[in-house]
Amino acid sequence: MRAAIPDADDDGQEARPFPPDLHDVRHLWLKAGLLVLWALASFGACFFARDLTLALDGWELGYWMAAQGAVLIFIAIVLVYARAMSYFERQDAVAAAAAAAPAPAPAPAPAPATRRADA
């Protein structure tokens, strides 16, 4: 049995599946770049692996090396994504703190100079 998805939250606003900050331009560019890298590692390396003619004792190692290298690239993609998202979150936290901080009070104006009568 499927659970019902609420059409509105308690405030009467429409429920959204993702917060809008997940679709920030920085995040979309990061995801697109890593997706292209993933596609190149998945399909490109395996497609061209047969051209790698490295043999060890009669055993073709080209495809095996491409497959192992792809796994290392996948791990690197995950690490880059985690590091970049951490950086973006820190930037957003600094920006939110700066926006929430009260504006500094203006410095009081200096008192007008008075002239002495005996001068």
Model confidence band, residue 97 (pLDDT cutoffs 50, 70, 90): confident
Domain boundaries, the chain: 36-92
DSSP collapsed to 3 states, 16-57: CCCCHHHHCHHHHHHHHHHHHHHHHHHHHHHHHHHHCCCEEC
Q: How far apart are CA 113 and CA 119, in angstroms?
A: 14
Q: Would you place residue 70 in the very low, low, confident or very high pLDDT band (cuts 50, 70, 90)?
A: confident
pLDDT at position 36 is 95
State the amino acid at position 102 in one-letter form: P
Look at the pTM and tell me if it is higher than 0.85. no
Strand 55-56 versus strand 59-60 pairing type: antiparallel
